[in-house]
Structure 1
Amino acid sequence: MDFQLTEDQRALRDGARELLAGRFGRDRLRAAVDAPAPDRGLWRELAGAGFFALRLPEADGGVGLGLPEAVLVFEEAGRALLPGPLVAGQLLAGAVDGVATGERIVALCDGAADPVLWEHPDHCDALVFVDGGAPERAGAVYGSAPAEVARAPFASVDPLTPLARVTGRPRTTPLPGLDASRLRREAALLTAAEQLGSAGRTVETAVAYARQRTQFGAPIGSFQAVKHLCAGMLVRSELARAAVYAAAVTGDALDIAGAKLLADEAAVGNARDCLQVHGGMGFTWEAEVHLHLKRAWLRAERWGGAREAEERLARALAE
């Protein structure tokens, strides 16, 4: 069995990287830190390239691809630190009008989380809750108008992802055709793909810096301690890549839980080690490393944290 990417998949990945490099480079990233509103023009351009309609059938105006291809695209988005509720746009493109074309920005909230957090609350045109907790609403998917949802300020560790805490919302009609368990699984997998992209980027960043930074007349990359850090980063990244790609093929809940766990560990661990390689330089605004760490911390708590994944995997092993 051949587990290599196909020629079309490689072209999709390379095209996504080229698009993001051209439209969301270093200068745009810096500007987004100061004003983290999603760029509507970029959002429509992503939609035009099929970013959100990637898995919609061609008969419905989509690209007609699958979850493995979506993972490749989201890996590139994570690598570029692209802000905005991207996972929601991908998962809800066929259910909320205007999302597939990039005309509307939708947020997806995990109703089972505590607290329930809302990404980019000032810039979303629609809001969807994957409910949990209350028995009468458990497992349902509801849409709400953002203006009708009560919220409170919530400090975000990631300057690129403003958050609000949902404090109250009206009871609305469930959205037809959406399965809560599937949305949770796929949201976790696409989030893991973003973590994977970030982990790969920090490996590249650490290696590049280790080659150019010199101490005692030699590149720091020639020192054994730095070599070990970079090697460990690569191992984490590749282990997570295998798990995320496999989960995208199987779609199994346990595979996705394991992939999310490994991707979170890779993203957070690699960002920390990348900071270690950079030394004090990594904490400055001239470097992007701290942004990867902050985004990795945030994603690690979304759609199933480490404790939830570990408990689920432990129960499965004990059965």
Structure 2
Amino acid sequence: MEFRLTDDQLALRSGFRQLLAGRFGQEALRAAVERPVLDRALWQQLGDAGLFSLRLPEADGGVGLGLPEAVLVFEEAGRSLLPGPLVATHLAAGTVPGADTGRTVVAASDGALVEWLAEADEVLGEVAGARPLRSVDPLTPLHRVPGARTPRPAAVLLTAAQQLGSAARTTELAVQYAQRREQFGRPIGTFQAVKHLCAQMLVRTEVARAAVYAAAVTSEAGPDGAGPVGNGAGVPDAEVAGAKLLADDAAVRNARDCLQVHGGMGFTWEADVHLHLKRAWVRAGQWITEAEAAELIAAAL
């Protein structure tokens, strides 16, 4: 069986990486940190590029691709720290008018948290009694929602894809810094301790990538995220839960190790490393937590 990405999938990933590099590069990221307001023009560009309608059938005006392609695109979004309720708006395509084109911003409650509630045009799920929650991530305003968590399987997997993108990016940042930062007249990347940190980051990333890609290939879901990416009752199966568990671990631990490689520089506001760590912490608590994922896996075993 062939598991390598096809030429079309590679082109899709490359295209979105170029789009995000052009529209949400370093300057735009920093501007968003200083003023965390949703960029509606960018949101519509993402809609025009097919981010939200990617899995919508062509007959309904969508791109007509599947979950594996959506995972590749959301991985790029995680890599660039793209803010906004991306997963919720993607899930709403085909059910909420304007969500597929990015003209409507959709937020969604997982029963515990909802992001970008104040800026959303539509909200999926119950948000009565939602209270503002101080978010550790300056790019992700949050509200706490009373009630039990209600994970959407596709949302779990797409969030895992974002975590994967962040883990890959912090690995790159660590390696790049280790190659140019010198100590005792040598790049710090030549020191065994730093080599080991970078190698461990790469291993975590690739293990998470294998899990996320495998879950995407072996599962499919409808645009609302409640399809068969799960056990048939709207609950993620062990494979999806495992993918989220591994991706959360890779994103959080890689960001911490990236800080370690950067040393004191990594803890400064000017470095992007802390933004990846804060976003990884937030995503780890969305849709399904580490403990909830572990329970699903244990039950399957």
TM-score (norm 1): 0.86
Q: Is 1:265 the counterpart of 2:268 in the alignment? A: no
Q: Is 1:243 the counterpart of 2:180 in the alignment? A: no
Q: Which residue of 2 aligns with 1:304?
A: 288
**Percent identity between the two aligned chains:** 67
Is contact 1:121–1:164 with CA below 8 Å preserved after alignment? yes
- Tell me by how many angstroms 1:27 deviates: 0.6
Alignment of 1:150-161 (within 5 A): 150-161=129-140
In 2, the alpha carbon distance for the partners of 1:166 and 1:203 equals 34
Is contact 2:179–2:189 with CA below 8 Å preserved after alignment? yes
- Tell me by how many angstroms 1:167 deviates: 5.6
**Cα deviation 1:205-254 (Å, max 9, x = unaligned):** 00000000000000000000000000000000000000000000112521
Helix, strand or coil at the partner of 1:110: coil
**Cα deviation 1:127-179 (Å, max 9, x = unaligned):** 111xxxxxxxxxxxx6x7xxxx44322110111001122369xxxxxxxxxxx
In 1, the alpha carbon distance for the partners of 2:48 and 2:279 equals 26
In 2, the alpha carbon distance for the partners of 1:245 and 1:108 equals 24
- Tell me by how many angstroms 1:62 deviates: 0.2
Helix, strand or coil at the partner of 1:127: strand
Q: Which residue of 2 aligns with 1:166?
A: 145
> Does 42-51 or 152-161 show the bigger shift?
152-161
Decide which of 198, 215, 221 is 1:230's aligned counterpart: 198
Is contact 1:37–1:120 with CA below 8 Å preserved after alignment? no
In 2, the alpha carbon distance for the partners of 1:167 and 1:231 equals 41
**Cα deviation 1:266-287 (Å, max 9, x = unaligned):** 0001000000000111111221
Q: Is 1:212 the counterpart of 2:208 in the alignment? A: no
- CA radius of gyration, larger in: 1
- Tell me by how many angstroms 1:118 deviates: 2.0
Helix, strand or coil at the partner of 1:38: coil
Is contact 1:88–1:108 with CA below 8 Å preserved after alignment? yes
Is contact 2:117–2:123 with CA below 8 Å preserved after alignment? no
> After the TM superposition, which parts of structure 1 deviate over 3 Å for at least 4 consecutive aligned residues?
none
Is contact 2:13–2:73 with CA below 8 Å preserved after alignment? yes
In 2, the alpha carbon distance for the partners of 1:221 and 1:312 equals 39
Q: Which residue of 1 aligns with 2:19?
A: 19
In 2, the alpha carbon distance for the partners of 1:229 and 1:152 equals 39
Q: Is 1:283 the counterpart of 2:283 in the alignment? A: no
Return 5+ residue gaps in structure 1 as ranges.
Answer: 130-141, 169-179
In 2, the alpha carbon distance for the partners of 1:61 and 1:185 equals 24
Paired amino acid for 2:213: Y
**Cα deviation 1:286-307 (Å, max 9, x = unaligned):** 2100000000001011111111
RMSD: 1.5
Aligned length: 284
Paired amino acid for 2:141: P
Q: Which residue of 2 aligns with 1:122?
A: 118
Q: Which residue of 1 aligns with 2:100?
A: 100
Is contact 1:210–1:220 with CA below 8 Å preserved after alignment? yes
Decide which of 205, 225, 240 is 1:256's aligned counterpart: 240
- Tell me by how many angstroms 1:314 deviates: 1.1
Is contact 2:75–2:164 with CA below 8 Å preserved after alignment? yes
Helix, strand or coil at the partner of 1:107: strand
Helix, strand or coil at the partner of 2:246: helix
In 1, the alpha carbon distance for the partners of 2:35 and 2:90 equals 23
Return 5+ residue gaps in structure 2 as ranges.
Answer: 220-228, 230-236
Decide which of 267, 276, 282 is 1:292's aligned counterpart: 276
In 1, the alpha carbon distance for the partners of 2:209 and 2:162 equals 11
Q: Which residue of 2 aligns with 1:190?
A: 158
Helix, strand or coil at the partner of 1:273: helix
TM-score (norm 2): 0.91
Q: Which residue of 1 aligns with 2:169?
A: 201
Q: Which residue of 2 aligns with 1:10?
A: 10
